[in-house]
Amino acid sequence: MDEATVALIDRIAEGGLAGTVPPKADVVRLLALDPCSPEASYLEERACEVAHRVSGDTGRIAGAVGIDFAPCSMNCSFCSFGERWGVIGEEVAYTEDEVIAMVRAYVEQGATMVTLRSTEFYDLDVLQEWIADIRAQVPGSYEINMNVGELTPERAQAIWECGATSAYHVLRLREGEDTPFDPEVRIATIRAIAASPLLLGTCVEPIGPEHTDDELADGILFGLECGAYSGGVMARVPVPGTPLEHAGTISEDRLMQILAVERIVAGLQYESIGCHPPVERALYAGANSLTVEAGANPRDVEPGAEPWKGFTVAEAKGLLEKAGFAVRLPNPEPRVCPTPRLRTGERVPKPSGRCC
Ligand code: SF4
């Protein structure tokens, strides 16, 4: 192995555990390694060590509930929900009872988090009521994460008061090119979440072979700069009928490399990192969080209440435990609002500055 590269990997990993973020040039150097090289294997080993250190050997399972399978006017080039792509056949909108049943199943099976995921313009006043009802009807120590449209500071606060604990938001790779969003609109939501009591989860996504080391380094560092508490990497799925269907996919080796880089760069800041698709190898390259999906999925052309690709909570738990991660929250009391609203009480103004 190249000694200078090994020394760089060690320096970044140890710096991350001391709370230091490396300069972008160093992140780019790691991303420029051959993903099949011995140095990349060493990088994955160090990333795995960091994952165990920062998590205290705990792993997370997020159960995602896709609430609506419906055309979305934002038309992101990789998403099956883009109305222009005509991929959506019959629209499906899960009822509150159906969503609560999916959440209950996840929690009873051992998921540490449930993520409510919607298309961009789903009515957040409705979702706030559902969050409150989930907290009232599904007992347990679990996080509720929101993966929804744009949030104002007031909305982020209201969502937390209804019982959510975190929100996931991403400045997607080539935002504004592969999506019609003004990147500033996405950034405003990320800042609103970060400034609220909600924890911010983020990810580098959706990664395709055309994304450069420079862009990936920017994605990794941006999440850290925004104060996220968890990160991830997601390979783009070539959804049939979408404009990026034929733009190619990255190899598993490359995905593991990007994951490992993010893991050692993030150090103490990220208590968990996920990987999509949730391959077993990721748990030996820096991931300690796996996502199980049900309902509407922007990476598929049909919804279903069954686990996506047959990947279940039980299987995720088995993989995490085999890799040495106990499935539990690092803090058994998730950051739930101590004085929750049982209902929204008031409507929260919609954000301005949308771009379509
Ligand atoms: S990624 Fe989100 S905003 Fe873009 S088309 Fe899909 S649902 Fe709409």
Count of CB atoms situated within 10 Å of the CB of 139: 9
Rounded Cα distance between 206 and 155, Å, is 26
In the chain, the N- to C-terminal Cα span, in Å, equals 51
- Closest to 107 (Cα-Cα) out of 148, 132, 135: 135
| 220: pLDDT strictly greater than 50 | yes
| 118: pLDDT strictly greater than 50 | yes
* Region 207-233 average pLDDT: 97
**Full-model pTM:** 0.93
- Closest to 295 (Cα-Cα) out of 308, 278, 277: 308
* Whole-Å CA distances, 234 to 110, 123, 128, 204: 23, 26, 27, 6
Report pLDDT for 304.
65
pLDDT in tens, 334-349: 778 877 765 555 556 6
Q: Can you tell me which atom of ligand 1 is nearest the CA of 80?
A: 6
Beta bridge partners of 183: none
Ligand 1 contact, 67 CB (< 6 A) = no
Report pLDDT for 5.
98
pLDDT in tens, 147-162: 999 999 999 999 999 9
pLDDT in tens, 65-96: 999 988 999 999 999 989 999 988 888 889 99
Which superfamily, per CATH, for 3-327?
A: Aldolase class I (3.20.20.70)
- Whether the Cβ atoms of residue 208 and residue 242 lie closer than 8 Å to each other: no
Q: Which residue has the tokens 């598929």?
A: 300
- The Å distance, Cα 181 to ligand 1 centre, comes to 10
pLDDT in tens, 294-307: 877 776 666 666 66
Report pLDDT for 353.
47
Report pLDDT for 190.
98
Instruction: Dig out the tokens for 289 from the structure.
Output: 């969080």
User: Residue 324: which region, alpha, beta or left (left: phi > 0; alpha: psi -120 to 50)?
Assistant: left
The single-letter DSSP state of residue 312 is: -
Ligand 1 contact, 170 CB (< 6 A) = no
Q: Can you tell me which atom of ligand 1 is nearest the CA of 75?
A: 5
What ranges do the domains of the chain cover? 3-327
Rounded Cα distance between 181 and 263, Å, is 28
Ligand 1 contact, 120 CB (< 6 A) = yes
* Region 245-255 average pLDDT: 96
Q: Can you tell me which atom of ligand 1 is nearest the CA of 298?
A: 6
- Whether the Cβ atoms of residue 198 and residue 156 lie closer than 8 Å to each other: yes
Report pLDDT for 347.
59
Detail the DSSP E strand segments found in the chain: 58-66, 68-69, 92-93, 113-117, 143-147, 166-168, 199-201, 204-207, 230-235, 272-276, 289-295, 326-327
- The Å distance, Cα 119 to ligand 1 centre, comes to 6
What length does the chain have? Answer: 356
Report pLDDT for 88.
85
Ligand 1 contact, 66 CB (< 6 A) = no
Question: Ligand 1, residues 67, 68, 81, 356: which to mutate, most atoms within 8 A of Cβ?
Answer: 81
pLDDT in tens, 5-41: 999 999 999 999 999 999 999 999 999 999 999 999 9
Instruction: Dig out the tokens for 284 from the structure.
Output: 């030996």
Rounded Cα distance between 356 and 352, Å, is 11
- What DSSP string runs through 127-196? HHHHHHHHHHHS-SS-EEEEE-S---HHHHHHHHHHT--EEE----TTTTTTS---HHHHHHHHHHHHHS
Ligand 1 contact, 72 CB (< 6 A) = yes
Report pLDDT for 348.
65
Average pLDDT, the chain: 92
| 128: pLDDT strictly greater than 80 | yes
Residue with more model confidence, 167 or 333: 167
- Closest to 143 (Cα-Cα) out of 334, 274, 341: 334
- The Å distance, Cα 80 to ligand 1 centre, comes to 8
How do strand 92-93 and strand 68-69 relate by DSSP bridges?
antiparallel
Q: Round the CA-based radius of gyration of the chain to a whole number and report it.
A: 19
Q: Can you tell me which atom of ligand 1 is nearest the CA of 119?
A: 7
Amino acid, single-letter form, for residue 151: L
